[in-house]
Amino acid sequence: MNREIKIMGSALGPRMVVNGREVDYFCGTSYYTLHGDPRVKEAACEATRRYGMGPATLMASPPLLEVVRRVVEFFGVESAQYIVSGYLGNMLLAQALSDEYDVVLVDAASHYSVFDGLHSTGKRVVPFQHLDVDSFSQQLRSNIQPSQAPLVMTDGVFPVTGAIAPLKDYVNVLARYEHWLLCVDDSHAVGVIGEKGQGSLEHWGIQGDNCYLAGTLSKAFGGLGGIIPGSQQLMCKISRNVKIPDGASPPSTAAAAASAMGLKILSEHPEMRRLLWKNVAYMRAGLRQLGIKVEESPIPIISLSSLPKVDLKWVQKRLEEEGLLVAYVPPLGYSDAPNKESLRIAIFSTHSQHQLDLLLDALGRLL
Ligand SMILES: Cc1ncc(COP(=O)(O)O)c(C=O)c1O
């Protein structure tokens, strides 16, 4: 994103120091602000004191093993892969499964990491229009023979707009193929949606050993690194077809310990998810009361665009002057950013009602 870099002056939180000044913070992706949680910070410090920065390849430190154990538990799967970044997760999945699909259908506004990952496989990639089931269906019909196996890739939740991909509709369309695969970049969905916080597949009630997700611990879970939860069989395919786990250093000990603690906290406190949904519902309802069209959705990303005669850059600056930080996204400024400017508001479980009211009041005056 063509963005102005701001400088942190404190640990991340709903109220924090940015550019030398305390602000109410409505940006980013740490939806429970676990990155600044004292338990997460202490876990990272303690692990570093004990194990240093990490194993420098070819060894597993206990915090790394702990992440895998907790991911297995959180997602109710047989096993998991933990790698240095979520960005690499889509590449890992696309390569691991490369023997099993012929052509890829991809939402045209999927994250950069999805396209980079697909590019590495050398397979034919056919984009369909963003979130458009008709375009998906038409591209599938025109490009894939009944005897071929399509792989479908998309973000489960899109990072700028917060749109949820209509995965159930895609699956219904795919039913006419004997073999198909679905891989979801669920970076913004894991820990947030689904009955148990397992992400967009759980949200849509989609199960099956042909449906996969790549997630991250760098957002809702307050840590760092990519995760691929799945079966033992998937792990075998990863070790057979993918070089990343052997060829790249694992996440640092501090990142692993922080991630394991984030997973533990979120597993033990499902009420945090309910609190997040409550804050999201409150903010969305408040915006609707201001006359702004905002969808009913559990996603803690609210995108404001299409406001006639409103200069959103100006609004973002005035909000910042009042100590309220939201993100300005220029047209096409990120993988799924609309072709017009927008404001991206991130809602946290830790925002107080007073903070949400302050933002609503300011938006009511400025929009
Ligand atoms: C949709 C999506 N996928 C993948 C990533 C990369 O995740 P990570 O920061 O863990 O590398 C991001 C990061 O912002 C993202 O928004």
* Residue 155 pLDDT: 98
Q: Rounded to whole angstroms, what are the CA distances from 300 to 30, 134, 154, 184? A: 10, 27, 19, 19
Q: At 176, list the tokens.
A: 């006419």
pLDDT tens across 100-113, in order?
Answer: 999 999 999 999 99
* Residue 354 pLDDT: 98
Q: How far is 8 from 183, CA to CA, in rounded Å? A: 34
pTM of this prediction? Answer: 0.96
Q: At 191, list the tokens.
A: 């820990």
pLDDT at residue 1 greater than cutoff 80: no
Q: What is the 354 CA–ligand 1 centroid distance (Å)?
A: 30
Q: Identify the band that residue 280 occupies on the pLDDT scale cut at 50, 70 and 90.
A: very high
Torsion of the alpha carbons at 352, 358, 359 and 361, rounded to the nearest 10? 140
Report whether residue 186 contacts ligand 1, using a CB cutoff of 6 Å.
no
Secondary structure (3-state) at 313? helix
DSSP state of 35: G
Contact 163, 335 (CB under 8 A): no
Q: What is the 178 CA–ligand 1 centroid distance (Å)?
A: 32
For residue 243, what are the contacts with CB-CB under 8 A and spacing of at least 6?
none
Task: Tell me, letter by letter, the H, E, C secondary structure of 54-115.
Answer: CCCCCCCCHHHHHHHHHHHHHHCCCEEEEECCCHHHHHHHHHHCHHHCCEEEEECCCCHHHH
Average pLDDT on 2-23 reads 92
Q: Identify the band that residue 286 occupies on the pLDDT scale cut at 50, 70 and 90.
A: very high
Q: How far is 266 from 316, CA to CA, in rounded Å? A: 32
pLDDT tens across 203-259, in order?
Answer: 999 999 999 999 999 999 999 999 999 999 999 999 999 999 999 999 999 999 999
Calculate the average pLDDT of the chain. 96
* Residue 3 pLDDT: 64
Q: How far is 198 from 215, CA to CA, in rounded Å? A: 10
Average pLDDT on 185-210 reads 97
Q: Which of 363, 192, 178 is nearest to 286 (CA)?
A: 363
* Residue 308 pLDDT: 76
pLDDT at residue 50 greater than cutoff 80: yes
Q: Which atom of ligand 1 is nearest to the CA of 218?
A: 10
* Residue 60 pLDDT: 87
Q: How far is 218 from 302, CA to CA, in rounded Å? A: 20
Q: Identify the band that residue 55 occupies on the pLDDT scale cut at 50, 70 and 90.
A: confident
Report whether residue 111 contacts ligand 1, using a CB cutoff of 6 Å.
yes
pLDDT at residue 135 greater than cutoff 90: yes
Q: Rounded to whole angstroms, what are the CA distances from 16 to 20, 248, 301? A: 10, 34, 19
> For a pocket test of ligand 1, which of 154, 160, 187 has the largest count of ligand atoms closer than 8 A to its C-beta?
187
> For a pocket test of ligand 1, which of 1, 3, 83, 113 has the largest count of ligand atoms closer than 8 A to its C-beta?
113
Average pLDDT on 54-74 reads 92
